[in-house]
Structure 1
Amino acid sequence: MSNRLRPLAPAELDTEQRALYAEITGGPRAAGPRLFALTDEEGCLRGPFNAMLLSPGAGRALQDLGAAIRYRTGLGPRLREIAILVVAQAWDSAFERHAHERVGAAVGLTEDELLALREGRDPGLSDPVERAAWAFTRALTDSAGVLDEPGYEAARGALGERTLFELSTLVGYYSTLALQLRLFEVPD
């Protein structure tokens, strides 16, 4: 896959772009173990983050939403990565898969679970909350967000309304990133 969007070098960024670049590279994504690189060898942002620099106002809001989903929700790390990988599979998003399989492994997803998620199969999750989150996320991605009443009630009963809100926001956020990655043909 080509990269339709030229990587924006740190030296060529304007003031607003530099501020957003600093937020991305110095924020919570940069703390702790780095399981995938945020920048390339020249310091250019990788994945969806380079595109965010095109419109710093919208890019900042989008990256803030992503940080909130990853670091300020009640979603546990395994549950969050399961849902992200379901979205990656639904959109066939190579970068999301590349990045989040590494994160998923680090938070305890097994090779068999990762392979099943990559292939769109049932990962056989034994934890009932993780299983319900997987089923809910699959339902959202398989049906363009339409969930029948029995499916909604089952998800609400197993997960609660807060988790449904947080998971549906995660699905929307990572679907947005997948769309942008596809549009700009960003390689993994």
Structure 2
Amino acid sequence: MSSDEAPPRLRRLRPDELDAEQRALYEEIVSGPRGNGPFALTDDAGGLHGPFNAMLLRPTLGHALQGLGAAIRYRGALPARCREIAILVVAAVWDSAFERHAHEAAGRAAGLTDEELRALRDGDDDVFSGVFADERERVVAVTTRTLAERHDLTDEEYARAVDVLGADGVFELTAIVGYYATLALQLRVFRVPVPGESGR
């Protein structure tokens, strides 16, 4: 049984169970820009989906982690399509069903096509080259896969990424890869289901 098919290890906390610190973090998550996003943040009882429920366990760290995610998603300079391409490549490398579920919705909202989403789910660098006509998007996809799998870039790979994205773009891309790998790890460890699939 894969981690995505296993029963959740963490009960989803309801808003009425939260202490003051947890409640402040909960409100920060649901009332921020994520609250109007392309995927549901809460279940019918108000419990948080995805990685956000676990963040409530340690609100001090949860505030910092969700704040980094909000900065990446809403205040970064990479275009939305590039950002979602990077996130979906991380989801594919980690085989993270929840990240794929959430960010395929976000990717569609950013203009990614079904063909592009399939390539990000199942493809490799050659497929990326055939699907993404925009050079920046191709470089984001290939560089993200390299970072997520190999955790480094050769001098040649780094030079290519900087040539297309700029050093600041490469910095932002490494932040995306690191953040979503962290979430993928937490989603795996806590056996967080895709909404509607064996969640409690």
- TM bin, normalised by shorter chain, reads over 0.9
Aligned AA (1:129) = R
Aligned AA (1:71) = Y
> How far apart are the structure 2 equivalents of 1:154 and 1:174?
23
Unpaired runs of 5+ residues, structure 2, are 195-200
- The answer on 1:22 being equivalent to 2:14 is no
Matching of residues 30-45 of structure 1 within 5 Å: 30-31=35-36, 34-45=37-48
Aligned to 1:142: 149
Aligned pair count? Answer: 185
Contact 1:9–1:44 (Cα < 8 Å) also in 2:
yes
State the 1:62 CA deviation: 0.2
Matching of residues 1-188 of structure 1 within 5 Å: 1=5, 2-31=7-36, 34-121=37-124, 122-123=127-128, 124-143=131-150, 145-188=151-194
Aligned AA (1:160) = G
Is the partner of 1:8 in helix, strand or coil? coil
CA RMSD in angstroms comes to 0.9
Q: List structure 1 runs of 4+ shifted beyond 6 angstroms.
A: none
> How far apart are the structure 1 equivalents of 2:100 and 2:76?
21
- Stretch moving more, 34-43 or 54-63: 34-43
Is the partner of 1:47 in helix, strand or coil? coil
TM-score normalised over the length of structure 1? 0.96
* Identity across the alignment (%): 58
Unpaired runs of 5+ residues, structure 1, are none
State the 1:79 CA deviation: 0.3
TM-score normalised over the length of structure 2? 0.90
